[in-house]
Amino acid sequence: MARPEFHIFLCTQRRPDGHPRGCCGSKNADAVYDAFAQALIQNNLTNRVALTRTGCLGPCMAGPNVLIYPASQMYSWVEPEDAAIIIKQLLAGEVYADKLTPAELW
């Protein structure tokens, strides 16, 4: 694999039902991961953008959360339909402001 230009980390943390912090895994994180993977494949970006499942990224109440480097951008409340938009704007050097994690959470 070539060295990626960007690395997308997507929280898929699972906690027991009723856990006080909740978790991204119970908020459709697997479907969000699949949407990112499909967008990367469909746009032939698998050599430019790495995608990795992670554990907790912090703001559990706002999940699923996506953290992108080297831009140090975190997105929250991400839904499957956001994946293609986030990738498109990332490659254009733009930020998807609608899903950017608020400063008070991160």
Q: How does pLDDT run across 44-60, given as a tens digit for each residue?
A: 999 999 999 999 999 98
DSSP assignment of 31-95 equals HHHHHHHHHHHHTT-TTTEEEEEES--S-GGG-S-EEEETTTEEE-S--TTHHHHHHHHHHTT--
pLDDT band of residue 1 (cuts 50, 70, 90) is low
In a domain, 20, yes or no: yes
Report which of 99, 91, 95, 72 is spatially closest to residue 5, judged by C-alpha positions: 91
Structural domain boundaries, residue 84 = 6-69+79-97
Query: What pLDDT score was predicted for residue 47?
Result: 93
In angstroms and rounded to an integer, the radius of gyration of the C-alpha atoms of the chain is 13
The number of distinct structural domains making up the chain is 1
Q: How far apart are CA 2 and CA 11, in angstroms?
A: 24
In a domain, 44, yes or no: yes
In a domain, 1, yes or no: no
For residue 52, what is the domain's CATH number?
A: 3.40.30.10
Which conformational region is residue 94 in: left (phi greater than 0), alpha (psi within -120 to 50 degrees), or beta? beta
In a domain, 64, yes or no: yes
In a domain, 105, yes or no: no
pTM of the prediction?
0.93
